[in-house]
Amino acid sequence: MTGLEADELRRRLAEAVEPLQASPDAYARIRARVLRRRRMRVPAAAFGGLALAGVITIAYVVSEPRDSTTLVEPATPPLAQTAGATAARVPTSSAAHGGGVGGPVRGTITAQPSSLSTSPVTETSPLPSPSATAGRPSVSPSNVNSPPLPQPVSRPAKKGDVDGDGTDDTTQLSGNTLVVTLSRFGPATLALSEVVSPLTISIVDIDADGYGELIVQTGGNAADTRTFGVIKMIAARQLRQLSGPPLPLPAGLAGAHGDGFTCDGPTPGTVVVAAGNATGGAAGDRTYSVTYTTWRLTGESFQTVGAPTSATVDLNTTASPFTAGCGIS
């Protein structure tokens, strides 16, 4: 290579480099560019910091081991939830949460409220236990204000004693309304759908609980079969007519058939009901095949005791079972 002379080299360098020209606004332009770079540096640094924090958070969530049984309680909703809402954990696959195969399985809580309401929740009183209500009289519109019955003076009650104080109580009929004057509580009334006047009534303690029941004729006549209803005092000054078998109690002979009842059976506290038919099938036949069924009064209903028994009765030699007993004349 041929060397250049010093003058030639100086000339070429001068041609290659443009001579600097002094400019009056050059300093202002340089300062503006420096300030603009400073302003952009702060947002860039902040954005970089946020991005780095996000990357760290994601890495922590992905890498943190979690138990599959962990539940996260949801915040209380602003609306009051009524009764009937149910909550259940629904396990989902890790893929549903962005995890890969073998990742942790997480649970979610789903609520299925029956209804939502903005009204305030009201509290209800708990139901009383059976032991707390044992021994109380039955509550109905007719006896809701009645006090419980006091202890009777004897069991069974004496004949004629309804309220258990050992004193006879009196009865009378006013139209179809039975009026019982109780020596312990005062008058008690009961409207009857059927009743025979003049009043035929007996007071006897059928169930031997210390309070007498009232046996009242509700139909028939002395020449035919009569029917009787049973009335029980369920609370102070509160009377109730019972229903269900074997009521009404029948008594009397009608052709070849006869019915009757008595409170003087072999089992105390029961009523024995007799029903029989003439063996010859004729009205003049005095021999009857009779079935006896024993009934016990429990609460406000009758239940049979044991199995019915049968016997052949000759009314020419044996007292008729087809009469009204339990004090009825």
pLDDT attached to residue 172: 97
Kindly report the three-state secondary structure assignment for every residue of the chain: CCCCCHHHHHHHHHHHCCCCCCCCCHHHHHHHHHHHHHHHHHHHHHHHHHHHHHHHHHHHHHHCCCCCCCCCCCCCCCCEECCCCCEEEEECCHHHHCCCCCCCCCEEEEECCCCEECCCCCCCCCCCCHHHHCCCCCCCCCCCCCCCCCCCCCCCCCCCCCCCCCCCCEEEEECCEEEEEECCCEEEEEECCCCCCCCCEEEECCCCCCCCEEEEEEECCCCCCEEEEEEEEEECCEEEECCCCCCCEEEEEECCEEEEEECCCCCCCEEEEEEEEECCCCCCCCEEEEEEEEEEEECCEEEECCCCEEEEEECCCCCCCCCECCCCC
Mean pLDDT of 294-307: 96
The larger pLDDT score, comparing residue 235 to residue 22, is at 235
In tens, the pLDDT along 194-204 reads: 999 999 999 99
Q: Which residue has the higher pLDDT, 276 or 38?
A: 276
Q: Tell me the CA distances in angstroms from 51 to 42, 62, 290, 311, 326, one per residue in order.
A: 14, 17, 104, 106, 101
Give the tens place of pLDDT for each residue, 67-120. Answer: 544 455 555 555 444 444 444 444 444 333 444 444 444 444 444 444 444 444
Check residue 105 and give its pLDDT: 40
Confidence at residue 32, expressed as pLDDT on a 0 to 100 scale: 81
User: What is the per-residue pLDDT for 246?
Assistant: 97
Percent of the chain with pLDDT over 70: 69
Query: Could you report the per-residue pLDDT of 238-269, keeping only the tens digit for each?
Result: 999 999 999 999 999 998 899 999 999 888 89
Q: Which of 78-87, 89-98, 124-133, 223-232 has the highest mean pLDDT?
A: 223-232
Query: Residue 25: is its pLDDT beyond 80?
Result: no
pLDDT band at 237 (very low <50, low <70, confident <90, very high): very high
Across all residues in the chain, what is the average pLDDT? 78
- Residue 19 has a pLDDT of 57
